[in-house]
A and B are shown apart, each in its own frame.
Chain A
């Protein structure tokens, strides 16, 4: 074992010694990403409904919001909130400053939330608009009001159809969360950078970081594969059962 490790051009002991830091980094990355996804996802639902409607006020407002946040890099958005807002005396004096805008974590969280909300809004809007027209008509003909057919038919159908595309958004958000390391936060990449800065060993820190991100993405992929099986089964062809085979073979002997 000792012998084998010596062939790897990495200082493994350094990684092992600092592994608790990396674990903390994983915690930081996960709590930022997951909370931003949850809050952003919740914000996206009413905004997607507005974008899918032809409401003369809400639709253009949300349109402008999603175009601004999808049209600019997450890094720039984070800098504007973290460095930019602090320039204004009024903001530094306000109640928003002390617990929230002076904290790097809160700034990253706000930027990530607004960013993922913008992408999720457009994604969900697409799924809402793509709801089969006939299914919507059936809901109307059954006597559902706009509200109740949105709640009972359109959204449940749209959420399911949005799952595959949303898994990409989740992975992009995880990868985008490295931005947190540029505003002093010790997320996974932050720890890698710290290791590099402290020992001038680039590979150790960054390979460990890359490996940890990869593991998380693997978990996300598994979760979404399970979700797709669970919630998209209604659109896939059913597996052929023994009864079907019996019926098929009966048919052929006739």
Chain B
């Protein structure tokens, strides 16, 4: 049986100068998978995630989104660049990202932030987009903050708006880049709760995180990156109860 996976990454390599940060990582996510990506800082987790939507351009390796390959080519200096930037832009609309620093557009209100993608990238009719945005704000519990500017919200509220903004694009896969790392401890819970809901809805998610509880309880698969390579992967039940490698054991010991 051949089922097209929602997202497939094959043998991804990325270097900054002479320093190779990602050394051939492959990963496959089926529809509805929640993959938690763990690792010490500097292990290349964020870089790996950012290579998927080409915020960083990988040196080599392939990314497939629902079977569609992101086409790359070499320029005359031998650097890897997108073959067709329009294709990349199209694929990015299906790969929403939630950032560590929220990155809401500061000159736009909450509502404008959420409507931006649907109205000006996907060109959806305004009435439909507004209706959906209102439903999403309700879902993340911020219906009373529609006209606020990001600077007037708490970190947890900003991150929930950012999640609503990502959902507004109706993405096939959601990329979370340490979504709770910049939050005060008491605000982490409200963001994780929203992410749990999304996982239960069957959203396909890749989550780079330091929240071991989230990885253990919510993820369908946990991946441990060490020095740019996948060191250990599998079901969280297996990984957290019987870590196989010394590196992952050491990592868990340090976290706890």
Contacts and interface: CB of A to CB of B under 8 A. Distances in A.
**Interface residues of B toward A: which range?**
20 to 34
B27 to A, nearest CB: 19
Contacts of B55: 137, 140-141
B193 interface: no
B97 A141 contact: yes
Contacts of A156: 107
A160 B200 CA distance: 41
Interface string B83-98: 0011001101101110
Given A142-B93, A142-B169, A148 B121 contact: yes
Interface in B111-133: 116-117, 120-122
A11 to B, nearest CB: 53
Interface stretch (A23-31, A63-71, A234-242): A234-242
Contacts, number: 78
A115 interface: no
B106 A132 contact: yes
B103 A135 contact: yes
Given A134-B99, A234-B151, A144 B89 contact: yes
Given A137-B99, A234-B151, A144 B104 contact: no
A157 B107 contact: yes
B204 to A, nearest CB: 16
Q: Give the most central of A139, A143, A235: most B CB within 10 Å.
A: A143
Interface string A140-180: 11111100100011001100100000000000000000000
A141 B96 contact: yes
Contact count band on A: 20 to 34
Contacts of A141: 53, 55, 92, 95-97
A14 interface: no
B31 to A, nearest CB: 21
A148 B120 contact: yes
B106 A135 contact: yes
Nearest to A148: B120
Contacts of B86: 145
A143 B104 contact: no
Given A138-B105, A140-B55, A141-B92, A238 B116 contact: no
B149 interface: yes
Contact of B107 (A138, A234, A236): A234
- Going nearest first, the 3 A-B pairs with the smallest beta carbon separation are A134-B103, A143-B93, A234-B149
Interface of A: 132, 134-135, 137-145, 148, 152-153, 156-157, 160, 233-238
Interface of B: 53, 55, 85-86, 89-90, 92-93, 95-97, 99, 101-109, 116-117, 120-122, 148-152, 162, 165, 169
19 contacts: A132-B103, A134-B99, A134-B102, A135-B105, A135-B106, A137-B55, A138-B104, A138-B162, A142-B121, A142-B165, A142-B169, A143-B89, A143-B93, A143-B121, A144-B120, A160-B107, A236-B151, A237-B151, A238-B148
